[in-house]
Amino acid sequence: MSISDFEAAISQAIDRDELVLHYQPIVSVRTGVLEGFEALVRWDRPGVGLLPPAEFIPVAEKSGLICEIGVWALNNATEQLAAWNRAVGARDLTVAVNVSGRHLNASRIRDDVATALRRSGIDPGRLVLEITETTLVGGVLAMKNLRELRHMGVALSLDDFGAGYNTVEQLTRLPVDIVKIDKDYLDVSTATTRELFRSMVDAVHALGLPVVAEGVEHPDQLELLKAVGVESAQGFAVGLPMAPAELEAHWHASMCV
Ligand code: C2E
Ligand code: CA
Ligand code: CA
Ligand code: CA
């Protein structure tokens, strides 16, 4: 299948409602209490199965399709949170949506977010937008959009911190509310890597921002998070990304922190 055929297939998938969001729990490190979810897109492709984002997001990024996926994800995730609010009265849960660079650099992002908030009726502070530094490259408009989105009351989370060129110095200039440290830094194998992780956490805390650790797979990683005072944890040891129905079935099961 050529790239353009694949693009057409993705476009059709959006129209045919073949995209689904799975939700991965984010919990408080200290208490283990559920704080919210990250929404992660999958393509339930007929005759093929569930495709992970790595298999179609890069193609969608090369075309405008990523914005369509972004709008769809914003609407879907906020509607899901509203439905959970109604069903279980879980009014303080948050939902984090990944925003692509293309979308963040387009002026429509502000309307798209406003529409999702209005349609779902959720409190703006319950919506977290996850951005990466690559989404900000060269983006004067992106910075303007970030400030306006924040002004609307949504929370901004810098994803994969440490994975690229982001320095703590640059972090001081970004209008973000949360920092997600890249999972590669959650390395407990040596005293040196543990110290490196601690120093990253300390630097983020020095800016007055809370830290989310992603890729938490082992109990000893959770121990490190507790020891260095990380606020929130996400990863296979905490909870897998799950379809809404699966998640609802797990709702009352205890999260292991
Ligand atoms: P990400 O934002 O860094 O998302 C976290 C990825 O790590 C997810 O992969 C998740 O399933 C995986 N993960 C969670 N816990 C663990 C763990 O304990 N260990 C390990 N090794 N991995 C863990 P996934 O769902 O395949 O998503 C991959 C990437 O696709 C995301 O990385 C994000 O950049 C992108 N993506 C996902 N959904 C969307 C979306 O709706 N829009 C856009 N633009 N990008 C998306
Ligand atoms: Ca993310
Ligand atoms: Ca991440
Ligand atoms: Ca990552």
Ligand 1 mutation pick, 14, 214, 234, max ligand atoms within 8 A of CB: 214
Q: Distance, CA 129 to ligand 2 centroid (Å)?
A: 9
Q: Distance, CA 9 to ligand 2 centroid (Å)?
A: 24
pLDDT for res 164: 72
pLDDT for res 249: 86
pLDDT for res 88: 73
pLDDT for res 70: 97
List phi, psi (to 5°) of 6.
Answer: -65, -40
Instruction: Say if residues 42 and 20 touch (Cβ distance below 8 Å).
Output: yes
Question: Complex ipTM above 0.85?
Answer: yes
pLDDT for res 191: 97
Which ligand ends up closest to the CA of 183? 4
Q: Distance, CA 130 to ligand 2 centroid (Å)?
A: 6
* Residue 213 CB neighbour total at 10 angstroms: 27
pLDDT for res 51: 97
Q: Distance, CA 158 to ligand 3 centroid (Å)?
A: 9
pLDDT for res 255: 43
List phi, psi (to 5°) of 157.
Answer: -120, 125
pLDDT for res 157: 97
Does the beta carbon of 236 lie inside 6 Å of ligand 1?
Answer: yes
User: Cα–Cα distance between 224 and 230 in angstroms, integer?
Assistant: 9
Residues in the chain with pLDDT < 70?
90, 137-138, 165-166, 252-257
User: Cα–Cα distance between 149 and 157 in angstroms, integer?
Assistant: 12
pLDDT for res 56: 96
Does the beta carbon of 40 lie inside 6 Å of ligand 1?
Answer: yes
Q: Which atom of ligand 1 is nearest to the CA of 237?
A: 18
Atom 30 in ligand 1: residue holding the nearest Cα: 53
Does the beta carbon of 21 lie inside 6 Å of ligand 1?
Answer: no
Q: Distance, CA 198 to ligand 4 centroid (Å)?
A: 18
pLDDT for res 169: 78
Q: Which atom of ligand 1 is nearest to the CA of 73?
A: 41
pLDDT for res 137: 65
Which ligand ends up closest to the CA of 234? 1
Instruction: Say if residues 216 and 29 touch (Cβ distance below 8 Å).
Output: no
